[in-house]
Amino acid sequence: MTGSKKILIVEDYADIATIYSFMLKKNGYDVQIAKDGKEALKQVLEFKPDVILLDIMIPDIDGIKVLKTIRNSPDYKDVQPLILVTSNVLQQDISDQAALYGADGYVVKAKVENQELLTIVEELIKKGRQDTPRKSGEET
Partner 1 sequence: MWANLGIRKKMLLLFFLISTVPLVAINLIWLRSSQDQLEAAAANRQSILLSSMVQRINDALDIKINSVVTASQDASITNLVIDTSKVRLLQFAGQDDDIIRVSLVDNEGDEKVVIEEGSLVDELKNIRASEEFRVVTFVSNEPYLGGVNRTGGLPIIKISVPLLSLGELGDQDLTSSQSLSRRFGGDISGALIVDVDLTKIWSSVADVQLGDDGYAYLVDRFGNLLVHPDDSFMDNHDSLQEVDEVKEALEVLQSFNLNSVAASFEPTPTVTTSEAGVTVLSSSYPIAQTQWALIGQEPVSSVYRVVNRATAIASLIFIISVPLAMGLVLLATRTIISPVHQLTRGVLRLSAGDFSGHFKVKGKDEISLLAQTFNSMGDNLRSLLERLNKKNIDLESEQTKLQAVLDTIADGVLVLDQNFSIVLANKTVASFVDQADPKALYGINWLEAFSLYYEEDDFRNELLNGELLRFSDVTMRVDDQQKFMDITALHLQNDPNGIAFILTIQDTTQRRELENMKLDFVSMAAHELRTPLTAISGYLNLISSSEMSPDEYRSFVKLASTNANMLEGLINNMLSLSRIERGVLVLNRTKLDWSKVIADEVKSLSITATEKQIDISLDMPEDDLHVWGDEVALREVLGNLINNAIHYSDEGKPIVVRAKIEGENVLTTVSDKGIGVPDKLHDKLFNKYYRAKGGLTTNSQGTGIGLFISKSIVEAHEGTIGFDSVFGQGSDFHFSIAAYNKDKHRQDDGDNDNISLRGKVDWFKKNTDS
> What is the closest distance, in whole angstroms, from the C-beta atom of residue 109 to partner 1 in the complex?
6
SS3 49: coil
Residues 6+ apart with CB under 8 A from 90: 108, 111
Q: Kindly state the number of chain residues that form the binding site for partner 1, as judged by CB under 8 A.
A: 21
Dihedral of CA 124/23/44/94: which sign? Answer: positive
Closest C-alpha to 51, from 124, 112, 117, 116: 124
Residues 6+ apart with CB under 8 A from 126: none
Task: Tell me: does residue 109 bind partner 1 (CB under 8 A).
Answer: yes
> What is the closest distance, in whole angstroms, from the C-beta atom of residue 67 to partner 1 in the complex?
17
Task: Tell me: does residue 54 bind partner 1 (CB under 8 A).
Answer: no
Binding mask 2-41 toward partner 1 (x if CB under 8 A, else -) reads -----------xxxx-xxx-xx--x---------------
Q: In the set 2, 72, 73, 114, which binds partner 1 (CB under 8 A)?
A: 114
Kindly list the distances between the CA atom of residue 124 and the CA atoms of 2, 54, 84, 115, 139, in Å, as whole numbers in the listed order: 12, 14, 8, 14, 10
Task: Name which of 79 and 108 has its Cβ closer to partner 1.
Answer: 108
The residues that touch partner 1, with contacts defined as CB under 8 A, are 13-16, 18-20, 22-23, 26, 57-59, 62, 88-89, 109-110, 113-115
